[in-house]
Every structure is written in structure tokens, then in C-alpha cells.
Amino acid sequence: MGRWSRAIAEAFLAWLQPPGGAHWLEVGCGTGIFTALIASTCAPAKVIGIDPAQSLIAHANLRAQTTKTQFQLGDAQDLPFRDASFDVLASSLVLNFVSDRARAFSEICRVARPGGLIGACVWDFAAERSPSGPLRRAMRCIGIDVPPIPGTEASGLSALAELFEAEAVRDVVTTSIDADVAFQNFDDFWNSQTPNNAPITKLIAAIAPKTRDDLRAMLQSELQQLPGGAVKYTARANAIKAHRSG
């Protein structure tokens, strides 16, 4: 999903309009794709990325290309930092997956400095506009029971606004951001949607070959056809930003 993450991250940061020279905390940094983009485009003083997965932190540290970035283990629901430590706090494509989102956002506000910028974006799973949306719709159209995505109910603009407005923040603004990603051909798109060992890939592998052919045909009809056999899909993320009161 790297190309999707990069496409939405660039648009999200442009919309966020963060100040230069800021101390950042990225909540849920994964392998550091968003962290690297912050470091290269936002002129930060420092960026700390946290994630609860040791394997992802190890990978992020291997990819780190500047001394401005630092990665460490951390849980969004119990941030290991003092109050009012950061100028900008951001989370990209993660917040809806946190089990106790209210507690996590309370922690984010706690470590934000007064007036600090807080922003988050999540794929619009509620409207089935995530990168996996076309595949999931196609599966349902041919009668396959598709497992729900955790945190779907927290991915809409109203849910994000409700989460933010429960804390001491001001100037809450929301928007939807579209990300266009093109693929060389349909097989390129198909392979991006069905990585090895993914639950949805295992589900597809278990269906009859004729049903799989029907699924591929249905999915192809969901995509925008480009010259030369290329295809494109426009995914959507919902974004929110605010400033900590005080």
C-alpha cells in the first residue's frame, strides 16, 4: 500500500500547512513513509515517530535518512512523553484502528503545546472509498461475504469531528482528500490488492476459478481505463486539523 500512503500523505501535509522549525510527533509511524515526507518537505526541527510494533520500528530505523528523525516504540493510548512537548502532532491512516480512540486523542492533546497543531487523516472506509474499496465492492456483487474493516465507523468526517471536539481544541477544520494512483495494467492493480498471506487474498484463493474470473471482470469494471491498458483508481481519505486550546 506504499504508493497509496505516499499519494495521500503529500496532499494531507499540503492541506495541514504546518509551521517550519517545529518539533513533531507522528503517532503510528509504521515503516516511516510519512515521517520521511515530513522531514523532507516541512522543514521540521525534529520528528519523532512512534509505533507499537517492534518490527516496523526496526524497519523505519533502517530507512532513516536524516538525524532529524527518530523512531521508538510507543502506544498512542499511553504516550511516553511529558505534557506540552510537541508543536505538531500528526497521524496518517492510523487513528481509526486504535482500540480506544478517545483515550489516544486525549493523550495527543496532552503532549501538544498550547496552540500546537494537531492533524489526522484516515481512509474513508465508511463510504467504501479506501484503496481496497473496488475489490470489496466487487466481491460483494458476486456474493462473497467480505469481513468488515476494524474502525470503519470511525472513518467518516462526522466521527472525526466528534472525536476532536470532545477535547480542548479550537479551530477544528475537516476535509476530504482524493488520491489518484495509476497502475501499468489491471494485473498490476490486482497484485497490489492481493498480497501474499493477506486475509482477503486467502478468501479469494478459496473460491472457484470461474467465480474468481467473475470477480476480476467485476473489479476491472470499477476502474478508470487509461490509454495503453493502464488503469486508475481514486481513493479518498478524510482529514481533520485543529489547535490545542490555551
Closest to 32 (Cα-Cα) out of 71, 80, 81: 71
Q: pLDDT tens digits for 82-128?
A: 999 999 999 999 999 999 999 999 999 999 999 999 999 999 999 99
- Whether residue 65 is predicted with pLDDT greater than 80 in this model: the reply is no
Q: 3-class secondary structure for the chain?
A: CHHHHHHHHHHHHHHHCCCCCCEEEEECCCCCHHHHHHHHHCCCCEEEEEECCHHHHHHHHHHCCCCCEEEEECECCECCCCCCCEEEEEEECCHHHCCCHHHHHHHHHHHEEEEEEEEEEEECCCCCCCCCHHHHHHHHHCCCCCCCCCCHHHCCHHHHHHHHHCCCEEEEEEEEEEEEEEECCHHHHHHHHCCCCCHHHHHHHCCCHHHHHHHHHHHHHHCEECHHHCEEEEEEEEEEEEEECC
Question: Which pLDDT value is given to residue 91?
Answer: 97
Question: Which pLDDT value is given to residue 85?
Answer: 97
Q: pLDDT tens digits for 192-223?
A: 999 888 888 999 999 999 999 999 999 999 99
Q: How many CB atoms lie within 10 A of CB 236?
A: 17
Q: pLDDT tens digits for 145-199?
A: 898 899 999 999 999 999 999 999 999 999 999 999 999 999 999 999 998 888 8
* Domain CATH for 30: 3.40.50.150
Question: Which pLDDT value is given to residue 1?
Answer: 59
Q: Percentage of the chain with pLDDT > 70?
A: 100
Residue-number span of the structural domain to which 14 is assigned = 2-244
Number of domains in the chain: 1
Instruction: Determine the Cα–Cα distance for residues 87 and 44; give it in Å rounded to an integer.
Output: 10
Question: Which pLDDT value is given to residue 178?
Answer: 96
| Average pLDDT over all residues of the chain | 94
